[in-house]
A and B are shown apart, each in its own frame.
Chain A
């Protein structure tokens, strides 16, 4: 380790105090270290009580979403070298739009409730207990790429934290639930539009999105979320005309 970085972390522990406070740690780092490696070092070597969730270390499991220098990001995909300011400092807070339970750990309940509300599974159920035959699926390569991209969601809640509408209106379904709905809408195997329409075609559904593009900009998997929501809006109009 040839270098140190200063992590300025917003702490909160309801067992010991009612108010959040800031604490600074000087952490040794090596070139190429992501912010997560520095946080782990704090927990293993300096202050074991620092609470944050983490698992895969490679931007796949979605555990370590947090606000780094004012913008929601994955700590494992944010390089220390890129995030530190001129004074060698990085500011870290829990995700916006979700209640803080301890330090960087937030209450994910509203996020998951919204996800569950959009009937997030392939419909209809063609399930056979002993499937023997392959179902073919053909799509134009570009359409398949869009669908495949939409299915990249890792449930990291970063879009949810980045969306100003979610912050203002707790009833709004939010970008993650909507991109999930889009993932099925864009799947030629799916026929769930009529089932999902009552939830999506609602003032708190697709229509609450004001195309601010924060979700798209923040998504660590590069999913064009806003675009997906716009396609959903069109699908809802078509569905209304059909009915």
Chain B
């Protein structure tokens, strides 16, 4: 391996990530400026394409965006910043119409209007959908627009570092996966739309590529992460690969049933039943399993049979296929086994509602950011909305920054430093392989930092993480080639995941209350007096984590008890 610096790219705005948030940001940059989008995979492999169930917008004349905002805030267990949630929900109808104009093929009602279905925690059926492939439908339109508008995309470039020069973001440093060369990208502004970090957990609906790179890179560059202790577990994933069964299935009327044939949600959320928010349904399922009312192998049943074959095969066609492919179960005739799995990171790079971070010229949007609109628990079908609303705003803000401050330049010293770091990794021999370290990390997080948490288990997790970090520092590679070295990529990704896991566990330990997705068995109630605030984590120069509190923005909605 020759970790050499090669070509440099120069632009006004570099967007890292070609998912919905990244592409939307790129399309929002002032056309006078040169944008480059970078992605570690081909754009269409970004995880946004996997979204199934829908995107929320108060389109119906009977519905109001204010109600959408209230549902979002209540769903967040009052940890969302209310001004940001209001901004997002007010913008939602515009976003949906915009995507429709760009070609998105939404499912329709008989009168030709966009169809909407119920989703967890929503007081009105306001999730617009394209069967159960909403992410793909939205993504294709945005991707097509990016081609039409000739957005310059460099795929299979793996970003290693955010370059900070003279107190501002100056670009990024990346590894060209096809050649192994180091590439510097000079820019006036940097936008991250790098997605989630589900690979931290053994049971996850996320793809292999969701390794939290952007969040960890920001943390290492001195930008704080917010709300990291809040990790969403989706109630219904197929045991094994943990492929997602969309909430839309329950939105269409599917039941959750335990081994005694009981619709157990009536004991946990008597009003909303199966379409209660995800944190509540996931805990209900875990409780049923823990108390012996699940099936052997740790799952309950999702029963779709009464919905009928036509509805299942037309509106839930993907999950029909998943259940057959991965479990050999035909949902028309048999109930589908489901268990909770990691699904979404509420936390991420701390931004304001315009995507700005504390570092001038650095912006973030989508799942890698915490604005925070999702607070302690994201409602289903609000994330796709988040990517499009805040992706656009980040693109607009980045343009403004470039207009005022011009371009910047990644120093040669920094490029050389990145090459050296890689060189050192290649030079190590005889160490453990990342494979065992990552597997242990994922097992530890799933067992000890899952749906239910306790102080002692979190402390245990913390000491295991310390051990994993030490082992990681001595770990070495199996592949020392330059071309398509996936061994190296996974090694680097494991390092990102370890850094992020620290913040998740630390936040979970410090938050001695139960709120949204964060359920402490030893502190079972919400404690607003002490904890109605965000935790912001940053790294001190000597690598220690430092926590600061930030108040939650409250506009109209006083925190109340959260019942459904």
| Chain A interfacial positions (CB closer than 8 Å to B) | 13-16, 30, 32, 34, 37, 40, 43-45, 47-63, 77, 79, 101-103, 105, 108, 116, 120-122, 126-128, 130-139, 144-145, 147-148, 151-152, 154-155, 187, 189-190
Contacts and interface: CB of A to CB of B under 8 A. Distances in A.
Contacts of A40: 208
8 contacts: A14-B483, A30-B240, A49-B481, A50-B486, A51-B484, A57-B208, A61-B44, A136-B111
A15 B478 CA distance: 16
Given A15-B482, A55-B47, A61-B207, A137 B108 contact: yes
Contacts of A131: 94, 97-98, 100-101
A209 to B, nearest CB: 23
A51 B318 CA distance: 28
Contacts of B137: 151
A15 B49 contact: no
Interface stretch (B140-148, B506-514, B516-524): B140-148
B431 interface: no
B484 A102 contact: yes
Query: Top 6 A-B pairs ranked by shortest CB distance?
Result: A48-B478, A136-B112, A48-B487, A122-B103, A49-B479, A44-B435
B140 to A, nearest CB: 7
Interface in B191-250: 207-209, 240-241, 243-244
Contacts of A15: 481-483
Interface stretch (B8-16, B81-89, B321-329, B376-384): B321-329
Given A134-B114, A147-B105, A59 B482 contact: no
B428 interface: no
Contact of B477 (A48, A53, A101, A145): A48
Interface in B501-548: none
A187 B314 CA distance: 18
B403 interface: no
Interface in B251-286: none
Contacts, number: 170
Interface in B298-345: 314, 318, 321-322, 325-328
B136 A137 contact: no
B468 interface: no
Given A32-B327, A131-B98, A135-B100, A55 B484 contact: no
Contacts of B108: 136-139, 144
Given A134-B59, A135-B100, A56 B147 contact: no
A48 to B, nearest CB: 3
B97 A56 contact: no
Contacts of B207: 55-57, 61
Contacts of B33: none
B444 to A, nearest CB: 17
A120 B103 CA distance: 11
B425 interface: no
B140 A151 contact: yes
B42 interface: yes
Given A101-B484, A134-B113, A62 B209 contact: no
Most B Cβ at <10 Å: residue of A32, A52, A101, A144: A32
B49 A154 contact: yes
Contacts of A130: 94
Contact of B45 (A32, A47, A63, A148): A63
Most A Cβ at <10 Å: residue of B112, B314, B325, B490: B325
Nearest to A153: B140
Most A Cβ at <10 Å: residue of B42, B59, B110, B114: B42
Nearest to A30: B240
Nearest to B106: A137
A139 B133 CA distance: 19
Contact of B97 (A55, A134, A189): A134
B45 A49 contact: no
A63 B243 contact: no
A48 B479 contact: yes
B402 interface: no
Contacts of B487: 43, 48-49
A52 B490 CA distance: 13
A165 to B, nearest CB: 24
A232 B103 CA distance: 19
Contacts of A57: 207-208, 241, 243
Contact of A151 (B50, B105, B178, B433): B105
A187 B105 contact: yes
A223 to B, nearest CB: 12
A148 B101 contact: no
A126 B484 contact: no
Contacts of A190: 103
B41 interface: yes
Contacts of A144: 108
A39 to B, nearest CB: 11
Nearest to A60: B50
Nearest to A121: B144
Given A15-B481, A116-B147, A108 B42 contact: yes
Contacts of B98: 127, 131
Given A108-B42, A137-B112, 11 more contacts: A44-B439, A48-B477, A48-B479, A56-B45, A60-B49, A61-B45, A101-B483, A120-B147, A134-B113, A151-B136, A151-B137
A122 B207 CA distance: 29
B209 A55 contact: yes
Most B Cβ at <10 Å: residue of A44, A55, A132: A55
B41 A53 contact: yes
Contacts of B113: 134, 136
B55 to A, nearest CB: 14
Contacts of B314: 145
B41 A138 contact: no
Contact of B103 (A37, A44, A52, A121): A121
Contacts of B100: 131, 134-135
B169 interface: no
B44 A138 contact: no
Contacts of A54: 208
A56 B481 contact: no
Contacts of B486: 43, 48, 50-52
B411 to A, nearest CB: 30
A175 to B, nearest CB: 17
B131 interface: yes
Interface string B118-159: 000000000000110100110011001101100000000000
B241 A13 contact: no
Contacts of A132: 93-94, 97
Nearest to A79: B325
A54 to B, nearest CB: 6
A16 B103 CA distance: 47
Nearest to A144: B108
Interface in B469-496: 477-479, 481-487, 490
Nearest to B43: A155
Contacts of A14: 483
